[in-house]
Structure 1
Amino acid sequence: MDSLPYADVDSSLRALAGRAEGFGRFSVGGLRGPVYYVTTLADDGPGSLREGCRKKEPLWIVFEVSGTINLSSYLNVSSYKTIDGRGHRIKFTGKGLRLKECEHIIICNLEFEGGRGHDVDGIQIKPNSKHIWIDRCTLSDYDDGLIDITRQSTDITISRCHFSNHDKTMLIGADPSHIGDRCIRVTIHHCFFDGTRQRHPRVRFGKVHLYNNYTRNWAIYAVCASVESQIYSQCNIYEAGQKKKTFEYYMEKAADRAEVKSGLIRSEGDLFLGGAEAITFKGEGIFHPSEYYPSWTMEPAANCLHSILQICAGWQSVQRPADNMVIP
């Protein structure tokens, strides 16, 4: 490939801040705060991730340990935090992260596997959260979703993530009664949906830009547009296994409308392999990403794309960069 996004975000510790492509591009995380060092894999207490995430001031959180953090309850993340897993290998299990009424969050280079319990997601974003970037995370095997974005949470980018061994992968928009979800805007790019069954994503109400993702061997559908949603699918690779239907349209009725409606999907430059079948719309009534951001790093959907995404999506063995920023 000629170019990939984020070539220089590992040049220094805080180079991630404000560098997301797409709707989450304004997220600065803990840019203006000190570095917080996680020194224990304990669920709570001194030096724990939970202790850092509950602090109200901006923090750039890094790890001095590797291993598994078994969460006994959702770990709530407060505003202006970066959870930066570069340099170590941290896996969450038991429960997940909850981004609730917060803003400016960056989550980078972490693993999520084996979340148990009713309504337990790997990363749950609700309500009223915004300016969020999730990058280079590996997620699998939770009892509910891997990433769910609902209840008026918006301006979010999910990039370079690997999803596997899961059913309901990503829900965007809670249900037809939550009409406030019309504000939702999400960009998903350079992600690898690896044999997950459905919801790559499933969208209600919101606007979603998908580009340069690789989705293969789904079991129900790849992408679903439900009530009033608008999905712009651009230069993705959809490789079918036994199930051939790439795009699904579910009819639902918004709480403040009389008529039942599905959403709309526009496909531009997508590559359909393995007999993948797609019914799309030419673009009437569908947003264009350029209405919201000026540029994004995108390659044509070609064989080299799915080869490189299998390597570059998900947790990466990269060094933690040096911090060259002086906090006054």
Structure 2
Amino acid sequence: MGNHHGRGWTVHRKHRNSGATVSYPDKTGGSPHMHRPPDTAANVPASSDMVHSLPYAHVDASLRALAGAAEGFGRSTVGGLHGPLYHVTTLADDGPGSLRDGCRKKESLWIVFDVSGTIELSSYLSVSSYKTVDGRGQRIKLKGKGLRLKQCEHVIICNIELEGGRGPDADGIQIKPNSKHIWIDRCSLRDFDDGLIDITRQSTDVTVSRCHFSEHDKTMLIGADPSHIADRCIRVTIHHCFFDGTRQRHPRVRFAKVHLYNNYTRNWGIYAVCASVESQIYSQCNIYEAGQKKVAFKYLTEKAADREEASSGCIKSEGDFFVTGTQVGLLPSTSESSSFHPSEYYPTWTVDAPSDDLKHILQHCTGWQSIARPADHMANV
């Protein structure tokens, strides 16, 4: 597969998938410890082709090539595309040249870092609309508290580490309420007192990609609680992420539509993915590898505030790999109307067969990467 360090992803062939029928090379020959339940199998033609199809081949060619490049529900996110550069020149929590100062400004900004190191946050760092927080070229770690994306739109967070968030309701990245067009890419998140990423309170059109989650319990919550019926609008795509021994919620979903593809989830402590009240989860070509707890999919029954009867959600699994010893845990779908297909919402996405090679890539090329900051071709903006 070549070198997967330094420049992030090494892409050998770009393959786009309409989603209506998933068809890809069979790579199971090199993965004797993986199996696919026959009732969830996609159409997998036999082939010796070991070429992988990985997303985002060109987003590091120039600084602002990230804008509008996300796959999935966050595909329209432009971040600070049309604004000037803002240079973070200090690791101070606040003040001129700080990250907090740039994130609170009302105008569109593409935020880059001229320093590396740890920023100790004394309170949530709120990010306003039309911002790109671009950590390429440096190694920036946020500690103490996390990011809050509140009533904002068009925000890109790229190549940042977040860890050690302390206090009640301390999330790594909190997306609520009423935020939309969000892309979280190549971030490392670990060890917060609450969640690593929460997407709730009518926040929607979010993509989380190439992130590494570790050393944590309640990893990702989508949909607040059964009383927040307006969360039926939430739509999230999670792809090419590595859930590395985190305990649960990869994700846990209420009400929302969620597309999972080409993620690697291993050694969970309770379950991998949980469908609760009215959720619709489409799990496609992911790798699930159990540790002591064997069941990958879990269902929890709750009653929406405007319904008489309690319900759980729907999980559709297509082309997923379950490493030997992993129990799938799928329940029969209650009806065709309870599930969705991503092609109803976006025409293309990059998906590959799950394999040992893909597992290796996701272990080494997710989270923060040592990437040079690309040149900015809009310096006159």
TM-score (norm 1): 0.99
Residue in 2 aligned with 1:245? 295
Residue in 2 aligned with 1:70? 120
| Candidates 341, 344, 349, aligned match of 1:296 | 349
Residue in 2 aligned with 1:158? 208
The answer (yes or no) to whether the contact 1:241–1:274 under 8 Å persists in 2 is no
| Candidates 240, 247, 254, aligned match of 1:190 | 240
User: 5+ residue gaps in structure 2?
Assistant: 1-50
User: 5+ residue gaps in structure 1?
Assistant: none
The answer (yes or no) to whether the contact 1:29–1:82 under 8 Å persists in 2 is yes
* 1:307 and 2:360 aligned: yes
Residue in 1 aligned with 2:267? 217
Distance in 2 (CA, whole Å) between partners of 1:274 and 1:183 is: 36
Residue in 1 aligned with 2:327? 277
Residue in 2 aligned with 1:117? 167
Distance in 2 (CA, whole Å) between partners of 1:2 and 1:211 is: 14
Q: Structure 2 matches for 1:172-183, cutoff 5 A?
A: 172-183=222-233
Count how many residue pairs are aligned between Structure 1 and Structure 2: 328
Cα deviation, residue 281, structure 1: 3.9
* 1:36 and 2:86 aligned: yes
Residues 1:65 and 1:204: Cα distance change in structure 2 (over 3 Å): same
AA aligned opposite 2:117 = G
Distance in 1 (CA, whole Å) between partners of 2:53 and 2:262 is: 12
Cα deviation, residue 276, structure 1: 1.1
| Candidates 123, 128, 134, aligned match of 1:84 | 134
SS at match of 1:307: helix
* 1:146 and 2:199 aligned: no
Per chain length, whose mean CA-contact separation is higher, i.e. which structure has more relative contact order (CA < 8 Å, sep 6+)? 2
User: Which deviates the most, 89-98 or 277-286?
Assistant: 277-286
Structure having the larger proportion of residues in strand: 1
Residues 1:263 and 1:119: Cα distance change in structure 2 (over 3 Å): same
Distance in 2 (CA, whole Å) between partners of 1:75 and 1:100 is: 10
Residue in 2 aligned with 1:323? 376
Cα deviation, residue 275, structure 1: 1.2
Distance in 1 (CA, whole Å) between partners of 2:53 and 2:79 is: 25
SS at match of 1:181: helix
CA RMSD of aligned residues (A): 0.9
AA aligned opposite 1:157 = T
TM-score (norm 2): 0.85
Cα deviation, residue 327, structure 1: 4.6
Cα deviations across residues 71-126 of structure 1 (Å, max 9, x unaligned)? Answer: 00000000000000000000001000000000000000000110000000000000
SS at match of 2:111: strand
Residue in 2 aligned with 1:51? 101
Cα deviation, residue 274, structure 1: 3.6
Distance in 2 (CA, whole Å) between partners of 1:7 and 1:316 is: 15
Cα deviation, residue 19, structure 1: 0.2
AA aligned opposite 1:128 = N
Residue in 2 aligned with 1:93? 143
Distance in 2 (CA, whole Å) between partners of 1:94 and 1:105 is: 22
Residue in 1 aligned with 2:257? 207
Residue in 1 aligned with 2:187? 137
| Candidates 281, 286, 289, aligned match of 1:236 | 286
Distance in 1 (CA, whole Å) between partners of 2:188 and 2:358 is: 19
The answer (yes or no) to whether the contact 1:32–1:327 under 8 Å persists in 2 is no
Residue in 2 aligned with 1:286? 339
Distance in 1 (CA, whole Å) between partners of 2:208 and 2:217 is: 18
Cα deviation, residue 326, structure 1: 4.6
SS at match of 1:197: coil
Cα deviations across residues 150-206 of structure 1 (Å, max 9, x unaligned)? Answer: 000000000000000000000000000000000000000000000000000000000
AA aligned opposite 1:305 = L
Distance in 2 (CA, whole Å) between partners of 1:54 and 1:291 is: 36
AA aligned opposite 1:115 = G
Distance in 2 (CA, whole Å) between partners of 1:5 and 1:257 is: 40
User: Which deviates the most, 302-311 or 155-164?
Assistant: 302-311
Cα deviation, residue 280, structure 1: 4.2
